[in-house]
Amino acid sequence: ALFTLFQLMMQPNLMEYKGMLLRRPFLMLFQAMFEKNVLRLQEDQLERETSRKYIGDMCSSFFRQITTNENGEASKEELLQLLPKVQEMFQSLNVQYVKSDLVHMLDVMDTDGSGAINKTEFCRGLLHVAEHGEDKLESTVDRMEKTNQEVLKTLHALVRGSGIGG
């Protein structure tokens, strides 16, 4: 029973329960909820991927607007000039962040220890701030997982109570 519950949570396929669902139409509501949540998860994933690509493209564009050395690296002072544009981009995407996180990010971006920041380090740092900011809030996926778990518990209790499925 626990394995079946796990399977339903990971990939809700209620066709195995079609007979029971047809005998108890009120349970069809659960199927609709699962399908709706799966679609929402897919939409959220696509939105995250689209935002990530957009942020990466914008970071590259921002970086091309500043002066770099012969190795294609910029100083922290040069990058500080970009922060208003970065903040505007984050606000347009509803990314939750703290301004001090952006400034601190510039202190730790130099991952190769060169003393300056290249485009890859800059883009990686901004993506990290954007993704970390989202972690501070309860995500849609977390809320939907909780809802699915509650629905599955109820469905499991109903199935157990009906004597169907052993």
User: For each of the chain's 166 residues, which pLDDT tens digit applies?
Assistant: 454 555 555 555 556 666 666 676 665 566 666 677 777 888 888 888 888 899 999 999 999 999 999 999 999 899 999 999 999 999 998 888 777 777 877 878 887 778 899 999 899 888 888 887 655 444 434 554 566 567 667 777 777 776 655 5
| Helix runs in 18-166, H state only | 18-23, 28-64, 76-80, 83-92, 99-108, 119-135, 140-162
| CB neighbour list of residue 9: distance below 8 Å, 6 or more residues apart | 145, 148, 149, 152
Residue 11 and residue 42: Cα distance in Å, rounded?
12
- The pTM score is 0.58
Residue 13 and residue 73: Cα distance in Å, rounded?
51
Residue 124 and residue 116: Cα distance in Å, rounded?
14
Q: Which two tokens stand for residue 123?
A: 């883009």
Query: Amino acid letter at 28?
Result: M
